[in-house]
Structure 1
Amino acid sequence: MRSAALRFCPVLLLLLAKVHLGSAAAVKKRAVKSDVLKPDPYSKKCPMGTYLANDSSRCLPCKKDEYTEYPNDFPKCLGCRTCREDQVEVSPCNSTRNTRCACKNGTFCLPDHPCEMCQKCQTRCPKGQVRIAACTQQSDLRCGPPLDNSSSFTTTGIIISTMLPVVLVFLLVLLCCCCCRRYSAGSGGVLSRKPRAMVKILLQRMGIQDNNCNEQIYQQQQQQQQQLLTTEQGSEVPRGVEVEVEEVAPRTPNVETQRNLVPVPGKDPITVLSSSFNTFVDLVPFPQWRRFGRALGLRENNLYQAEQNDRESGEPLYQMLIMWLNKEGSKASVNTLLETLSQISLSGVADIIASELIRNGYFQYEVS
């Protein structure tokens, strides 16, 4: 029994092998049959990498050196391109893409033109121009005018246009501060007319008024006058200022604190009064001139006319005082001007102006 079983083993192995090979062949046959592509039922086109067979029921794959890049109904695939001698191969051909070629180094072919032949690149730019972009396989050497000069000019222009207004404003502020210091340090607090007039012209034309500086002048004038009025007998009196030492009552707003002024004997009152207008122009704070004119009874039209008639010198206050003099006639008095300054809270300025008019020989105190 044992020997008979051993004789049948080879036969069984052969049968098993045959059955296995037969089943494998059947599976392979079914797989090949199922891999056959068919055209799209709607567009009737085959996918890329295939072409439509003659019976129009199958899509066959492209052969070697053939391709189709898009869905198609071609009867055969397209042949792959061969790069020219003046080109190099960028990527090889396959069933779904043609051969990709490009111009050799030093040559180019514009992408929006048919590349029948690669053109040589320029080796240098024309005289007076510089290289903007190097030569590539799609473009020639690009040249243009130098950019450094124009860029530098543009940058310089921007810097100048930005810094010039700042520098002008800084110089004006510095000039005003210098005027303030000279005013406080000078004898009697009086500036020469020319520098002050020049500052007023600049400020009026630029539309800039340094209110802080004017306010500082006004406060210094009040402090200086207060010191003069409270100076005791025997103390040092500033040069150029005549001060009568007497007991001074506490100062209250809108109250006359000094005696009336009268013209110096032998001089015409109107001429002396008009000559004193320069002192008012020098010492009355510029922002207060309109307020001063309104307090004197002038109308807005008169103030506007004074400003229009005096654009060159920058002293509309002087023109305003001339209008006031013409309006008042023989009734015009320097005491009216001083009292009006006291009424608009500029009594300190009025006191300094009075002292200055006496020192210049225009007026003197009225003898009671």
Structure 2
Amino acid sequence: MAVKKRADQADLREPFYSRKFPMGTYLADDSKYLPCKDDEYTEYPNDFPKCLSCRTCREDQVEVSPCVPTRNTQCACKNGTFCLPDHPCEMCQKCQTWCPKGQVMLAPCTQHSDLQCGPPLEVSSSTSTVIITVSLLLLVLLGLLLVILRKRYCCRHHGAGDGGELSRKPSVVVQNRLLQQLGIRDNRCNELIYQNQQQQQQLLFTVQGSEVPRGVELEGTASRTSDPNVETQRKLVPVPGGNPIALLNQSFNTFVDCVPFPEWKRFGRALDLQENDLYLAEQHDKFSREPFYQMLNAWLNQQGSKASVNTLLETLPRIGLGGVADRIASELIRKGYFQYEVS
């Protein structure tokens, strides 16, 4: 009977010992489990008698995320070094800085791979022909669409008294609606700039003692080119009494709102940020614009007192966003952060 009793007791105790306790905890004694202490962790359900000690990043690494009770410290190689993912990372290796003669860069150095080089990629003549043909067709379709909208607008407003000359040109409203249909002007920054243009037009007619003809608005009086080869961007300076770095930091929200979000990495590379900087920025909420904001913060930290809003504005035309740079400059002036430099 005594043997049977011991067997029954073992059966009662067996489920407890066969259990796996939640990650971030450890088995304190035979009856309970406790959460891990500071600088300790367990990543998986377990029955350990104590938690594991957190990792400390090496001198050739940077800390990507700190240690928490359910995850060890996350480390990564510093800029310009890498570790192959299928090898133990005992020491980060230096990346190549250039490709051999006759080869071009196929992929930049990352935390997990060296600089990738290879022969130049040749585009076949048939592929080039297809690309050119499609581009020409798109340009022709866009031109036809503009002509149709222009004719409809002119017919609707022909002979509108003193506004007859203006009515033969597409107004700002028609242009904005066309761009919105094409998916170009569809963010919050454009709406703010458009409202500012309307206020300036109303003020202009009030000063001249004229009345705005119904259905007709003045065209922009200072149109700018988005061609990066043409220097049209006027320099901005902080408003009197303003802290340049503080105002630059406040202007980041305007850049985030106006620059198309898919272009944020290309913008960061044009600002000479490393791939590691972009990787760290991307660790934030990927479903919002937070990585874009963190990328601008990383650029500001690197530049320090040399950082200038003009650097950001002059970089945008280099990646084909000159029009966006103009709208951002107008919005920063409207908000009272900056003003044009007086020559």
Whether TM-score is above 0.5 comes out as no
TM-score, with length taken from structure 2: 0.37
TM-score, with length taken from structure 1: 0.35
CA radius of gyration, larger in: 1
